[in-house]
A and B are shown apart, each in its own frame.
Chain A
Amino acid sequence: GESVGLHLPTLSVQEGDNSIINCAYSNSASDYFIWYKQESGKGPQFIIDIRSNMDKRQGQRVTVLLNKTVKHLSLQIAATQPGDSAVYFCVEFSLDTGRRALTFGSGTRLQVQP
């Protein structure tokens, strides 16, 4: 697959442990914050989003936390599995621009050790 990022920060965890991936965002006016997962050789895949007026949202095995005071977003993955190995992007999304496009951060690589 393609080289997603040669110098991405990397988080290495043991299978079964919980993972926490952190992100600092820049645009306080974003309406939503979204986490995408990108496996090697594939396009990004939506995981979970959180509206800007919320501070926590849970999905299946994932939880996203939003701290607007310090512009910080985190993704928690419970019981991390080898299939979770990928690059994770925090993404900003605004509805009031006509483009409805995503603004990607630079990404964090998650490596799950068996």
Chain B
Amino acid sequence: DAGITQSPRHKVTETGTPVTLRCHQTENHRYMYWYRQDPGHGLRLIHYSYGVKDTDKGEVSDGYSVSRSKTEDFLLTLESATSSQTSVYFCATFPTGQGNEQFFGPGTRLTVL
């Protein structure tokens, strides 16, 4: 499972507050991703990283920012949370040159009231 942990696992916050979700991996995988999952949808890409300090936007990046200062950590920040950001957030990693399997963390359930 690529040793992926996400913290917190559950969070309830209020509209307008900043929130940071953390993804930590132990396998030194190059690529890291943040997806969100909503009812009726598959997972949708928010942001991704292809190396330390190298990040880029996915399809649903509005209202989110990311940072990767170390290979093992990828942070997702909601600068000012909105109710539309209530979702389950998954982190994933992808090692290059080892097939097409991406490894997913256990998810963080975020509720914005």
Contact = CB atoms under 8 A, between A and B. Distances in A.
Contacts of B106: 41-43
Given A2-B37, A44-B90, A107-B42, A99 B48 contact: yes
Which of the four size classes fits the interface of chain A? Answer: 20 to 34
Nearest to A89: B42
A49 B41 contact: no
Contacts of A45: 104
A11 interface: no
A99 B45 CA distance: 10
A102 B39 contact: no
Contacts of B50: 98-100
Interface in A25-84: 32, 34, 41-46, 49
A42 B1 CA distance: 11
A106 B107 contact: no
A46 B58 contact: no
B108 to A, nearest CB: 10
Interface residues of B, number: 31
Nearest to A99: B48
A5 interface: yes
B45 A101 contact: yes
Given A2-B109, A34-B100, A43-B90, A100 B39 contact: no
A95 to B, nearest CB: 9
B94 A6 contact: no
Contacts of B33: 101
Nearest to A90: B42
A2 to B, nearest CB: 5
B75 interface: no
Contacts of A3: 39
Interface of B: 4, 31, 33, 35, 37, 39-45, 48, 50, 56, 58, 88, 90, 92, 94, 96, 99-107, 109
A-B CB proximity, top 8 nearest? A104-B42, A43-B104, A46-B101, A6-B39, A2-B88, A104-B43, A101-B45, A49-B100
